[in-house]
Amino acid sequence: MSTFKFVVLPGDGIGPEVMKAALEVLEVACKKHGHSLDYKVCAVGGAGIDEFGKALPDSTVETCKASDAILFGSVGGPKWEHLPPAEQPERAALLPLRKIFKLFANIRPGLLYPQLTDASPLKSERIPDGIDIVCIRELTGGIYFGEKKTWTEPDGQLAACDTMMYRVSEIERIAEVAGNTAMARGKKVCSIDKANVLETSVLWRKTVTEYFKKHFPEVELKYMYVDNAAMQLARDPNQFDVFFTENMFGDILSDEMAVICGSLGMLCSASLGDIKNSLGLKFGLYEPAGGTAPDIAGKGIANPCAQILSAALMMRYSFGQDEIAAEIERAVRDAVCSGVRTGDIAFGIEPVSTDQMKQAVIDRL
Ligand code: NAD
């Protein structure tokens, strides 16, 4: 019998709606195994700005530091769009959280059930068995975090530059995550870079090659240039199984993967680092792939599955509860595949509400 201690950051828009559903599902799944939850709800994003004048209030950070994991909703919305970019909820809350907790690896399963192929913009005959791949993105290095500046050239025109930089240690630690993920799946991994043009990619490829040779000799390692990877993902996503790449390439490819997998309402993610929690497991931040969906917020119709599946990932990585995670994942799959669907994945079926979707998952637990 264990008590799982984590922080809940619902955020804005549909965040609190889908979070409520996820917590109820988690409660039922854990109770079934005799476990209980001990979580604190804190303000973040627009809610943080409204309550404390800051997207990431100090009290929220302190509570996160005293916890074993963060279950995150999503942040932002029209109400805060007038703010300067540096104060916008996403930039001022999510990026610092990744930095503070050194969350360098983003793991996003690209899962599309065969019964949901209609939700994908790809032709169903190309993905008759759905999609089941994993994207791993380096999250705290590369061009987003390198030196940047804007200056005036001698001829008077403005110029700007951003710097992409990677150290061997940063490449090795993401290679380790990719290797472990591949070992737990099909022992196949594709490293994506632009080694025909970029120095960072040449180092990336060399480091990855040596790291896999030494630590994951059983894993079949392939390489692909990022421009080709973008095409291959749209042509035949299942050729990948597990792929991993640097920050900016991963930002773009993970969104491409999200769209071919149908609705953002189904896709979860885990951001992990090397920090260990009080259980000696990985501290992590778990969140849906989508945003705050202002167009449907407050209507009670958002798809809670991505948030529920993010909670399942939290049970797996930060609490070592693989069985509970798998039971939640199975319950979501069963509910969706038996025809219980929110509007984003309904396709001719009468859509259900967030609450009904949640209840269908609970019923199957
Ligand atoms: P979005 O992901 O919020 O919405 C895109 C589309 O997907 C919308 O039509 C929305 O209704 C739909 N959608 C998303 N999640 C859904 C769900 N669970 N169920 C059903 N439909 C869902 O992207 P956007 O409209 O570009 O951004 C809206 C706000 O969210 C912006 O302020 C943006 O900055 C923020 N955002 C936050 C995060 C984050 O917190 N990690 C990520 C992306 C966007």
pLDDT at 67: 97
Q: What is the whole-number distance in angstroms between the Cα of residue 12 and the centre of ligand 1?
A: 10
* Amino acid at the residue 276: K
Distance CA 167, CA 173 (A): 10
Phi, psi angles (nearest 5°) of residue 273? -135, -155
Q: What is the DSSP string of 215-280?
A: H-TTSEEEEEEHHHHHHHHHH-GGG-SEEEE-HHHHHHHHHHHHHHTS-GGG-EEEEEEEEE-TTS
Distance CA 99, CA 89 (A): 15
Kindly provide the residue ranges of all beta strands, DSSP E only, lying in the chain, ordered along the sequence: 3-11, 36-41, 70-74, 105-112, 131-138, 148-152, 158-162, 188-193, 220-225, 242-245, 268-276, 282-288
Pocket lining: 74 vs ligand 1, CB cutoff 6 Å: yes
The Cβ-side half-sphere exposure at 17, using a 13 Å CA radius, reads 23
Q: What is the whole-number distance in angstroms between the Cα of residue 93 and the centre of ligand 1?
A: 16
Phi, psi angles (nearest 5°) of residue 286? -120, 125
Catalytic residue among 39, 144, 223, 225: 144
DSSP code for 146: S
**Which mutation among 90, 255, 299 tests ligand 1's pocket best, with the greatest number of atoms within 8 A of CB?**
90
Placement of tokens 């609705």 in the chain: 263
Q: What is the whole-number distance in angstroms between the Cα of residue 289 and the centre of ligand 1?
A: 8
- Reply yes or no on whether 155 is catalytic: no
Q: What is the whole-number distance in angstroms between the Cα of residue 294 and the centre of ligand 1?
A: 7
Placement of tokens 């005036």 in the chain: 152
pLDDT at 212: 98
Distance CA 197, CA 210 (A): 20
Nearest CA to ligand 1 atom 43: 291
Dihedral angle sign, alpha carbons of residues 326, 327, 329, 334 = positive
Catalytic residue among 255, 274, 322, 363: 255
pLDDT tens sequence across 72-100: 999 999 999 999 988 999 989 998 999 99
pLDDT at 1: 86
Q: What is the whole-number distance in angstroms between the Cα of residue 288 and the centre of ligand 1?
A: 10
Pocket lining: 94 vs ligand 1, CB cutoff 6 Å: yes
pLDDT at 65: 97
Write out the chain's pLDDT in tens, 365 residues: 899 999 999 999 999 999 999 999 999 999 999 999 999 999 999 999 999 999 999 999 999 999 999 999 999 999 999 999 889 999 899 989 999 999 999 999 999 999 999 889 999 999 999 999 999 999 999 998 899 999 999 999 999 999 999 999 999 999 999 999 999 999 999 999 999 999 999 999 999 999 999 999 999 999 999 999 999 999 999 999 999 999 999 999 998 998 899 888 999 999 999 999 999 999 999 999 999 999 999 999 999 999 999 999 999 999 999 999 999 999 999 999 999 999 999 988 999 999 999 999 999 99
Pocket lining: 295 vs ligand 1, CB cutoff 6 Å: yes
Q: What is the whole-number distance in angstroms between the Cα of residue 14 and the centre of ligand 1?
A: 9
The Cβ-side half-sphere exposure at 173, using a 13 Å CA radius, reads 17
Please say whether the beta carbons of 328 and 336 come within 8 A. Answer: no
Distance CA 363, CA 32 (A): 12
Pocket lining: 264 vs ligand 1, CB cutoff 6 Å: yes
pLDDT at 9: 98
- Reply yes or no on whether 317 is catalytic: no
**Atom in ligand 1 nearest the alpha carbon of residue 73:** 40
Pocket lining: 90 vs ligand 1, CB cutoff 6 Å: yes
Q: What is the whole-number distance in angstroms between the Cα of residue 201 and the centre of ligand 1?
A: 31
Please say whether the beta carbons of 51 and 331 come within 8 A. Answer: no
Buried b / exposed e over 9-28, threshold 16 CB at 10 Å, is: bbbbbbbbbbbbbbbbbbbb
Nearest CA to ligand 1 atom 12: 293
Pocket lining: 68 vs ligand 1, CB cutoff 6 Å: no
Nearest CA to ligand 1 atom 41: 74
pLDDT tens sequence across 30-51: 999 999 999 999 999 999 999 9
- Reply yes or no on whether 251 is catalytic: yes
pLDDT tens sequence across 279-331: 999 999 999 999 999 999 999 999 999 999 999 999 999 999 999 999 999 99
Q: pTM of the predicted model, to two decimals?
A: 0.93
pLDDT at 118: 87
Q: What is the DSSP string of 188-213?
A: EEEEEE-TTT-HHHHHHHHHHHHHHH
**Which mutation among 264, 267, 352, 357 tests ligand 1's pocket best, with the greatest number of atoms within 8 A of CB?**
264
**Atom in ligand 1 nearest the alpha carbon of residue 304:** 18
